[in-house]
Structure 1
């Protein structure tokens, strides 16, 4: 006997950041501005994220490349390390992610890579709080996604380690 299941999710697409609530627009603008702090001399693809924590704090992260490519770290995981180390695993309520390529345009949203989706999923589960995502380039549309679970529905977790 075979079962077939279907996974789908809903997300919002806003025309641009002007359609966001003021707090979300400010968080996205912080992520956009923080792309200038990324260390991406090899790819030229500067990524930054800004998180609003449950305690009201704001934390940023940027990608940090290395000539030995596996040694680098994405902006999302850099941010998670900062939150876990400096804020005692404080829940993340909203995470804004943006990018600025040195030789290209930044007018559409990009989504976290698979490794970052897994790391965000673990953090979301660990804190028991959904992480709402705001994805956008330096201009253009903004995707609003209610939880990282929507981007990684069959995430590997501690339940799979039995």
Structure 2
């Protein structure tokens, strides 16, 4: 038997106000686009903002549909748009903000498994880490140096 140990470190900011420069701007973009989410069923709104190496910011919000699972998460809305329209640009960072219309979400909310896998695909494709910032509606922001940190036992093209 062999044991595998995975150590991951995250930075935790007490609020969006502790972020600086492009990172703060990126998170503010995620908060703004979150307000445009179409979430009539779950009442759970998510916004994602992606910083490309050119400095361009791509945003996306979750889009629900009565015919589950026809909707799409904010992270995949944004990353698929970036991949389709700017396929040769590296993604430097992704900021995600999520909140409920029904209660206060004051802790960081990480992406779902499908979004983790989709974001990781782009990290593998570009062969450089993508920084990730996650927050709820208010409160702490968590920073990860790589999407791979939140998907430690991952699946990628190397096994195909």
Normalized against structure 2, the TM-score is what?
0.96
TM-align CA RMSD: 1.0
**Taking structure 1 as reference, are residues 61 and 89 closer, same or farther at Cα in structure 2, changes over 3 Å only?**
farther
- CA distance in 1 between partners of 2:114 and 2:10 (Å): 21
What is the CA-CA distance between 1:89 and the residue it aligns to? 4.2
Quote the residue 1:63 is aligned against.
62
Task: String of CA shifts for 1:106-161, please: whole Å, max 9, x gaps.
Answer: 21110011111111111111111211011112221110100011111121112222
- CA distance in 2 between partners of 1:36 and 1:10 (Å): 30
2:10–2:143 Cα contact (<8 Å) kept? yes
Count of residue pairs brought into register by the alignment: 160
Quote the residue 1:33 is aligned against.
32
Which ranges of 4 or more aligned residues in structure 1 deviate by more than 3 Å? none
1:106–1:138 Cα contact (<8 Å) kept? yes
Normalized against structure 1, the TM-score is what?
0.95
Please state whether the residue corresponding to 1:110 is helix, strand or coil. coil
**Taking structure 1 as reference, are residues 147 and 17 closer, same or farther at Cα in structure 2, changes over 3 Å only?**
same
Flag structure 2 segments of 5+ consecutive residues without an equivalent. none
Quote the residue 2:147 is aligned against.
148
- CA distance in 1 between partners of 2:13 and 2:141 (Å): 5
- CA distance in 2 between partners of 1:89 and 1:138 (Å): 32
Flag structure 1 segments of 5+ consecutive residues without an equivalent. none
What is the CA-CA distance between 1:88 and the residue it aligns to? 2.0
1:109–1:135 Cα contact (<8 Å) kept? yes
User: For 1:39-50, what aligned pairs fall within 5 Å after superposition?
Assistant: 39-50=38-49
Task: String of CA shifts for 1:47-86, please: whole Å, max 9, x gaps.
Answer: 0111110111000011111111111111111111110111
- CA distance in 2 between partners of 1:114 and 1:145 (Å): 16
